[in-house]
């Protein structure tokens, strides 16, 4: 085994390692599963180990950080070591939470934009440092204007973790659009977006953040401003509704999965093509509105009221065209209701996932948080979303 230099911990300059193991103190740590996206395990520092486990099964965990972009990832040791019980405190929650969300370093700088590789963009918005993950497809050509899709993550699953879960980068590559995934605010993985600018005044202004982020991207990339879209899941879906309400004429269309708006939409909201996807058995954001299973801090409008309001805003008064998706062997089925435009001012679509929970639909079965219900495998959500969004153009 190749060991770690004794000067590693005290070195102030970036130290690059390409081997898969290193030693710190009496522990050997494994780098083989560390995810630094495109940074090839360029390790800068190793933070102090943290104890996780119980009795004889306790292990040490430490943090490694990328010298290029500041991304942090958890390291698991190859050897067990007895740990005093006092070491098992709130750091356990911090370490396990950060293992899910790959907490970035506070002084992280963004990696340069390279087509085919995700990079992190850092800007100042509303007096705060904000970041977002961006992806430019390999076929990007600056001589043409490209659509921009803004994808907003759910609560408890910030953008880097959510990007891996829903495979958003491969969808952007497959369909040919620029993808940006803003990061919400909050500690560790408890990040969210401000969905009610009127009543959530203590939270940063995420609408201003999105505006500044779009201008920054437009200055660096060739973006078609008539084809800017928003897609989100749960808290991110609620924020997609917020953007449509507070930035009239900014978005060419939105897709909201398992997330109705935090407050009822005003009738003077600008007509916006909208696709809503919601599980009939969702217990986190129930179809009928908040229930005893809903977190106390969450407030939102029921699905029927939201649909009725969007139909009135978009002028969708005719009868809906109904279709069904039902994959054999899947416990769910999907009823799709379409109100096309014309005759409506803007297209309105509802996908009701029968027996579906608070989940992102995907043909591949995926693990998710408990109590979130059944995942529909009837559709690939990004494919269905892009089929809807690609038809929309602002001003058309």
**Is the model's pLDDT at 80 over the cut of 60?**
no
CA–CA dist 221, 64 (Å, integer):
32
The pTM score is 0.72
**Is the model's pLDDT at 246 over the cut of 70?**
yes
Q: Which domains does the chain have, with CATH numbers?
A: 21-101 (no CATH), 119-389 (3.40.50.1820)
What is the model's pLDDT at position 296? 74
What is the model's pLDDT at position 90? 41
CA atoms within a 13 Å half-sphere pointing along the CA-CB vector of 12: 0
CA-closest candidate to residue 324, choices 337, 335, 315:
335
Please compute Rg for the chain using Cα positions.
Answer: 22
CA triplet 163, 382, 389: central angle to 5 degrees? Answer: 120
For residue 256, the SS3 value is strand
How would DSSP label each residue in 154-185? PTTS-HHHHHHHHTHHHHHHHHT-EEEEE--B
CB 101, CB 188: distance < 8 Å:
yes
CA-closest candidate to residue 75, choices 108, 33, 19, 26:
33
% of the chain exceeding 70 in pLDDT: 69
What is the model's pLDDT at position 390? 96
What is the model's pLDDT at position 152? 97
pLDDT band at 393 (very low <50, low <70, confident <90, very high): very high
Mean pLDDT of the chain: 77
What is the model's pLDDT at position 114? 64
Cα pseudo-dihedral 76, 46, 43, 10, rounded to 10: -150
Tell me which of 51-55, 275-279, 329-333 is least confident: 51-55
CA–CA dist 306, 263 (Å, integer):
9
CB 394, CB 228: distance < 8 Å:
yes
CB 257, CB 372: distance < 8 Å:
no
What is the model's pLDDT at position 73? 55
CB 156, CB 369: distance < 8 Å:
yes
CA–CA dist 81, 78 (Å, integer):
10
Mean pLDDT of the 348-356 span: 97
**Is the model's pLDDT at 320 over the cut of 60?**
yes
Is 88 exposed, middle or buried (CB count within 10 Å of its CB: 0-12, 13-18, 19+)? middle
CA–CA dist 185, 197 (Å, integer):
14
How would DSSP label each residue in 288-343? TS--TTS-TT-----HHHHHHHHHHHHT--SPPEEEEE--TT-S-EEEEEEE-TTT
**Is the model's pLDDT at 237 over the cut of 60?**
yes
Beta-sheet strand order (sheet of 223-233): 119-125, 128-135, 178-182, 146-152, 223-233, 253-257, 274-279, 348-354, 333-339, 321-325
DSSP state letter for 222: -
Mean pLDDT of the 224-237 span: 96
CB 237, CB 257: distance < 8 Å:
yes
Phi, psi of 311 (to 5 degrees): -60, -40
């Amino acid at each position: 085994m190749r060991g770690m230099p004794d000067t590693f911990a005290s070195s102030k300059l970036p130290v690059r390692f390409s081997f898969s193991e290193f030693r710190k103190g009496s522990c050997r740590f494994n780098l083989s599963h560390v995810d630094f996206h495109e940074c090839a395990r360029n390790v800068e520092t190793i933070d102090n180990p943290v104890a996780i486990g119980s009795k004889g099964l306790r292990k040490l965990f430490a943090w490694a950080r990328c010298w290029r972009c500041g991304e942090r990832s958890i390291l698991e040791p190859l050897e067990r070591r007895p740990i005093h019980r006092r070491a098992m405190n709130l750091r356990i929650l911090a370490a396990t939470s950060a293992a899910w969300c790959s907490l970035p370093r506070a002084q992280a700088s963004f990696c340069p934009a390279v087509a085919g590789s995700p990079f992190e963009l850092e800007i100042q918005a509303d007096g705060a440092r904000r970041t977002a993950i961006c992806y430019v497809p390999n076929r990007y050509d600056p001589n043409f204007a490209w659509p921009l899709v803004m994808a907003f993550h759910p609560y408890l699953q910030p953008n880097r973790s959510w990007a891996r879960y829903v495979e958003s980068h491969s969808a952007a590559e497959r369909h040919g659009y620029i993808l940006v995934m803003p990061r919400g605010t909050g500690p560790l993985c408890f990040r969210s977006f401000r969905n009610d600018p009127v009543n959530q005044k203590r939270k940063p202004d995420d609408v201003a953040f999105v505006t500044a982020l779009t201008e920054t991207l437009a200055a660096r990339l060739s973006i078609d401003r008539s084809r800017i879209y928003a897609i989100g899941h749960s808290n991110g879906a609620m924020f997609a509704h917020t953007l449509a309400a507070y930035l009239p004429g900014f978005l060419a269309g939105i897709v909201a999965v398992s997330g109705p708006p935090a407050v009822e939409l005003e009738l003077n909201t600008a007509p916006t093509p909208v696709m809503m996807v919601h599980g009939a058995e969702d217990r986190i954001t129930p179809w009928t509105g908040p229930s005893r299973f809903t977190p106390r801090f969450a407030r939102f409008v029921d699905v029927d009221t939201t649909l009725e309001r969007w139909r009135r805003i978009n002028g969708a008064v005719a009868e809906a065209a109904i279709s069904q998706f039902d994959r054999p062997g899947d416990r769910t089925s999907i009823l799709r209701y379409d109100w096309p435009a014309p005759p409506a001012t803007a297209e309105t679509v509802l996908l009701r996932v029968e027996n579906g929970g608070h989940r992102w639909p995907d043909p591949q079965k995926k693990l998710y948080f408990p109590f979130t219900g059944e995942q529909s495998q009837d559709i690939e959500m990004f494919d269905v979303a892009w089929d809807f969004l690609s038809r929309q153009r602002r001003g058309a």
